[in-house]
Structure 1
């Protein structure tokens, strides 16, 4: 099947009783097993069917099968949020004494979890410039078990060469290469085909697409995900609500056509921003001015709808105008929704709260972001209206 057909039909089937065309929403917390099984989740067997919603639910399972088809994965497991999925794969795969490598610049929730929580469990970490393969190679130790990549990264839209770094990591004996593909979606990049072992998505973003349901997913080999499900879902308990799964599945059905529209609109807006006298720099992988544009063209089938840009004027002053004056673009966090969203990220603030880089890494970040950047998630409004709304504040 082509990916548009997979998005609509994968994981779904006509209900044998009602003949309903659309997927059912199954809200039951408990199920009658087909055969006698043990009381503990450790004793559950797939042949017994669904037992309890923490270990599996039919609606959630439909979404997992659809996501696996879109990503080209053997299997998928869904969780209550993107950070729950991140927690699941990190805590489900690493143990005390292990070492893991993470990007210098990554989603703030991931960065803060790694910095504030992992040391308490004896897991050692290094933050590395993952645009630099030599820096990644230098950070690998005999105890390194995981390389975490985020591409494009949040919020600076830097890319990591997945194929190059996956080959490097596996050649050095690393067990797990994990890619957070939230910004790209499965339509933009399919990391497993490039050599990654796991892909993580915040389903709240592009895959849901409507800004009304939180969720997360981990995709990879079935054997790995079966073990992850027992620990991360059954024991950690961050399971996805069936209602949220049903909403996200509805959004996933239109993902390919939405991503084409997001990319088209973002390209129009990015080119307009590059010519605006108030704007000093634009970061968008689809623009030739992006320093990794050649890698983006090789690695991404869709450049997505995420733009970052800087202004000549103090961005915080422009952000204050945006809070009160924007009419169509919402000044709000999150991304990947059908509505355009923009937010100001001050460099001093994020360095203090999230990254806390050593001097050389802080210098790289400041050279990239200056006093701060605007992160713009371009929605499905007409691009002329998006530009006109931004012009009101710029």
Structure 2
């Protein structure tokens, strides 16, 4: 089946009342240029629509490419999700021959997918804006892990877990979007319509992998990356990219040669990091996490942001960890406690540090300069 161009869909949505069948009560929400508000991806364009009687907004997804079995798949997905009461999942309804489009295609009426409109931003955008904020990233990691634990306890799977398919609402809650690759129990024995996005999928995943475990590897990879970034934001600058987090498809092929894996060794004093790293390695070896409990995603909830003390106690120094220059930090790498007197030349404090303790650089007479990251909020 041939599908219209985005420009042809746009013309049809301008006159939605005349061109929609069952959904003729919806009107397009306009952008700053007076055009229907929309966003487009590789295989579809999504319009923001509004029911003027109730004021509720919806996302109307119009397809630009054929996907075999789409109608039956979405019928099964809608049946599975109908009674799922969770903010992690949104309402979906597939309507065949719903939208009339004047186009060069042989057909005149085309299917649409109706979903609740999620106010917020993608997790990809949220991370780009907040990755230097340790508390914000710790909360994001905590909320993602709660969602991961919930999803692993369900009989269905999303199929393409990645930051661009997760919405972050204004209150911080997360919602999964884009269900084109979803697995539900009624599909058991079928082939997967996707193998996910390469920088978040197991390197050996094929279309034959299609069950409730297909999200496990992506969940483990993203959770570990979020945890690491919350502890050391500079990792995203050094190992990340605009369309992925810390790991790339090349890393997955041989973790023993991954520079990201090497960098994570510095964070293993953190218990949550150790747990998530263990799950990631298990998912890498087995392609899924069926051998472990979903409760392992239950990382500790971050404490509210606190006023950081600059006092350095003997107990602090006793439990400290050191960097390669012998500078002592708290075990969470948030407080710089003490630098050795032999430190000389130029020294750069680790990204993510919040506090420089009292007398931290006392007697460092050969130290010429100190580079202080933006994360530092308090200096003793």
TM-score (norm 2): 0.26
Greater length-normalized contact order (CA 8 Å, ≥ 6 residues apart): 1
TM-score when scaled to structure 1? 0.25
Q: Bigger radius of gyration, 1 or 2?
A: 2
Structure richer in helix, relative to its length: 1
